[in-house]
Amino acid sequence: MTAIAILTIAGVLLIFAETLAMCGAFFAAGALAFAGAAAVAFFEFGAWASAGVGAAFLLSCALALVFWSKIIPNTRFSREIYLKSSESGKSPARDTAGLVGREGLAKTPLCPSGVVEVGGGLFDASCEDGHCEVGEKVCVASSSPFGLKVRKIRKDL
Residue 148 lies in a domain: yes
Supply the CATH number for residue 135's domain: 2.40.50.140
Q: Same structural domain for residues 7 and 73?
A: yes
pLDDT of 89 = 60
Cα–Cα distance, 49 to 27 (Å, whole number): 22
Per-residue pLDDT of the chain (157 residues; tens, 9 = 90+): 888 889 889 988 888 888 777 788 998 998 999 999 999 999 999 999 999 999 988 998 898 888 878 887 788 777 776 666 666 665 556 778 888 999 999 999 998 889 999 988 899 999 998 888 999 999 999 988 888 999 998 876 5
pTM (two decimals): 0.48
Are 11 and 66 in a shared domain?
yes
Range of the domain at 26: 2-81
Which segments within the chain are labelled E, that is strand?
103-106, 113-118, 121-127, 137-144, 147-152
d(CA 110, CA 149): 11
